Amino acid sequence: MQIGMVGLGKMGGNMAERLRRGGHDVVGYDRDPAISDVGSLKELVERLQKPRAVWVMVPAGKPTQSTIDDLGELLDPGDIVVDGGNSHYVDDQKHAAELAEKSIGFVDCGVSGGVWGLKNGYALMCGGDQAHVDRLMPIFETLKPEGEDGFVHAGEVGAGHFAKMVHNGIEYGMMQAFAEGWELLEASDVVKDVKGSFKSWRTGTVIRSWLLDLMVRALDDDEHLEQLRGYAQDSGEGRWTVQAAVDHAVPLPVITASLYARFASRQDDSPAMKVVAALRNQFGGHATTSAEGATEKGADSPGADVVPPRETERR
């Protein structure tokens, strides 16, 4: 099958290569001319035979909107656009409606597999009309892992990215659990081989997983993670998952806490913790640390002299 691929970065480039290895005719476009097969979106569309299929693999938000707007002007009725990026499912519904006015089909497809997908295949979660999905099945069959799992037509437009959004929310929680367990083991003076403990869990335990394998791989490279700064970015899906939970009144304490932990990681000097430290000093006389790093004495410090509040202030 012939398909156009827009965006040939780490994911899109590997997906295009997997499709080529599977016997498909892929015409790729990227803003980087060194890796692009064509010089423009217009040239890409002209290279494709009708009815066309174009897979968009660019960052969510404005880049995706701009690309779909441009394709809407270049494609013909009967063509199909696939958004394989990490778009918000609400945007999918908007994009589908805009393209439908021109009789152009739209399928949203959440893709998971990272840089390992070229070798292992990609888990695909699709949303859209059954006829559009059926037409693209040769592409999906090549991209997915071997076997019966790894692909789902989750529902109408938006369902694919909604499923991928929840997938990434679960991923946040799982990574946070591994992170907290590692930190506790590192802080303990009882466990001497933290890396070995993680390795021992890879076989026979209920937490064995690909994430655990990747954790061991990271510890093999840097046993105490001393080369890394404790800073974690988020790409948006965690936020959208929490927002959707509020919309549907579904409690997500683990996923929400893991998202907030990422926010906390970006604060070298947490404003909220300044308030906590100040209040602990006020009600309990606990020691505080100045902005310069000096420790100020509190009631729990040797030699501290804190005047207790008057009886009326205690109430």
CATH number of the domain encompassing residue 144? 3.40.50.720
Q: Is residue 75 part of a domain?
A: yes
Q: Which of 37, 17, 35, 18 is nearest to 27 (CA)?
A: 37
Whether 164 sits among the annotated catalytic residues: the reply is: yes
Q: Is residue 313 part of a domain?
A: no
Q: Same domain for 137 and 227? A: no
Instruction: Give the CATH number, domain containing residue 192.
Output: 1.10.1040.10
Q: Is residue 305 part of a domain?
A: no
Q: Mean of the pLDDT values across residues 227-232? A: 78
Q: Same domain for 16 and 32? A: yes
Q: Is residue 151 part of a domain?
A: yes
Q: How many domains does the chain have?
A: 3
Write out pLDDT tens, residues 7-33.
999 999 999 999 999 999 999 999 999
Q: Same domain for 193 and 286? A: no
Q: Mean of the pLDDT values across residues 43-72? A: 96
Contact, 240 vs 256, CB < 8 A?
A: no
Q: Same domain for 114 and 153? A: yes
Query: Which of 126, 157, 188 finishes a domain?
Result: 157
Hey, what are 57's tokens? 């693999």
Q: Same domain for 144 and 39? A: yes
Domain boundaries, position 275: 269-297
Q: Where are the beta strands (DSSP E) in 70-221?
A: 80-83, 105-112, 123-127, 151-155
End-to-end CA distance of the chain: 77
**What is the residue-averaged pLDDT of the chain?**
89
88 vs 295 pLDDT, higher one: 88
Secondary-structure percent of the chain, ordered helix, strand, coil, rounded to 5: 50, 15, 40
Q: Where are the beta strands (DSSP E) in the chain?
A: 2-6, 25-29, 53-56, 80-83, 105-112, 123-127, 151-155, 288-289, 295-296
Q: Same domain for 125 and 217? A: no
Q: Mean of the pLDDT values across residues 190-216? A: 94
Q: Same domain for 16 and 142? A: yes
Q: Mean of the pLDDT values across residues 84-105? A: 96
Query: Which of 120, 136, 157 finishes a domain?
Result: 157
Q: Mean of the pLDDT values across residues 116-139? A: 97
Long-range own/partner contacts, residues 239-246 (CB < 8 A, 24 or more apart): 240/88, 240/89, 240/165, 241/165, 241/166, 241/168, 241/169, 241/172, 242/169, 244/162, 244/165, 244/166
Hey, what are 277's tokens? 């430290």
Q: DSSP class of residue 83?
A: E
Residue 116's pLDDT is what? 87
Residue 115's pLDDT is what? 83
Residue 293's pLDDT is what? 59
Q: Same domain for 73 and 98? A: yes
Q: Same domain for 80 and 197? A: no
The amino acid that residue 32 corresponds to is D
Does residue 307 register a pLDDT over 70? Answer: no
Write out pLDDT tens, residues 281-294.
777 677 777 666 55
Rounded Cα distance, 311 and 7, in Å: 69
pLDDT band at 252 (very low <50, low <70, confident <90, very high): very high
Q: Mean of the pLDDT values across residues 235-250? A: 89
pLDDT band at 78 (very low <50, low <70, confident <90, very high): very high
Q: Same domain for 46 and 145? A: yes
Residue 113 class from Cβ within 10 Å (0-12 exposed, 13-18 middle, 19+ buried)?
A: buried
**Which residue bears the tokens 């506790």?**
184
Contact, 163 vs 152, CB < 8 A?
A: yes
Q: Is residue 308 part of a domain?
A: no
Q: Same domain for 175 and 127? A: no
Q: Is residue 303 part of a domain?
A: no
Q: Is residue 312 part of a domain?
A: no
Query: Which of 157, 177, 198 finishes a domain?
Result: 157
Q: Same domain for 122 and 187? A: no
Residue 157 class from Cβ within 10 Å (0-12 exposed, 13-18 middle, 19+ buried)?
A: buried
Catalytic residue among 62, 164, 195, 274: 164
Q: Is residue 240 part of a domain?
A: yes
